[in-house]
């Protein structure tokens, strides 16, 4: 694994294009997005206002949903959920109240190493987007997983 260039989060037209899936959720077409992406509604750490982003679910297990912050710890959504961890997820047509918690680096590496063989094209594209050159080995993906923050969204019971 080689770090080529860690890109900044998108701005301008790229940001508008990245945010198009949010509009699909807002008009009720979220189920078309499948279960590999989710609409994350969180609270802005400075404004206190609701914010939304569509991110990939890299793992779903008995503890909750896991996502990776592809733009690293400086991504707005990541910084927001670390400051205010109570969030709402929408996966397809289902809404879930959840609490966000960071995943330790070692576990993040293992998650990435398991994700890559299940979704090889997406893993290669994700690494390229994040500025990593990988050879396709589990060890390379594990190293990438050590460089990006992962978050677990644990569903909450709502009375």
Q: pLDDT of 57-83, one tens digit each?
A: 999 999 999 999 988 898 999 999 999
Query: Residue 53: pLDDT band by 50, 70, 90 thresholds?
Result: very high
Q: What is the pTM of this model?
A: 0.89
Query: Residue 10: pLDDT band by 50, 70, 90 thresholds?
Result: confident
Contact 87, 153 (CB under 8 A): yes
Query: Residue 15: pLDDT band by 50, 70, 90 thresholds?
Result: confident
The CATH superfamily holding the domain 2-155 is Electron Transport, Fmn-binding Protein; Chain A (2.30.110.10)
Distance (Å, whole) CA 118 – CA 123: 9
Helix ranges, 11-104 (H)? 12-18, 20-26, 76-83
**Token pair belonging to 17:** 């294009």
Sequence spans of domains, the chain: 2-155
Per residue in 98-147, pLDDT (tens digit) is: 999 999 999 999 999 999 999 999 899 888 888 899 999 999 999 999 99
Cα angle 72-105-118, degrees, rounded to a multiple of 5: 80
SS3 content of the chain, % helix, strand, coil (to 5): 40, 30, 30
Q: What percent of the chain has pLDDT over 70?
A: 97
Instruction: Identify the pLDDT of residue 158.
Output: 67
Distance (Å, whole) CA 59 – CA 66: 5
Q: Which of 77, 63, 72, 146 is nearest to 110 (CA)?
A: 146
């Amino acid at each position: 694994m080689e770090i080529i260039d860690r890109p900044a989060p998108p701005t301008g037209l790229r940001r508008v294009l990245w945010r198009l899936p949010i509009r699909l959720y807002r008009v009720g077409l979220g189920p078309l997005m499948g279960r590999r992406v989710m609409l994350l509604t969180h609270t802005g750490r400075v404004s206190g206002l609701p914010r939304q982003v569509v991110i990939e679910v890299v793992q779903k297990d008995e503890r909750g949903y896991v996502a990776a912050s592809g733009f690293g710890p400086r991504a707005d959504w990541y910084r927001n959920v670390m400051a205010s961890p109570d969030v709402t997820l929408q996966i397809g047509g289902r809404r879930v109240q959840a609490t966000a918690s960071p995943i330790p680096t070692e576990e993040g590496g293992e998650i990435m190493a398991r994700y890559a063989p299940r979704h090889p094209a997406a893993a290669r594209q994700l690494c390229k987007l994040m500025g990593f050159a990988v050879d396709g080995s589990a060890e390379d993906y594990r190293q990438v997983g050590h460089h990006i923050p992962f978050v677990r969204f644990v569903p909450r019971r709502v009375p």
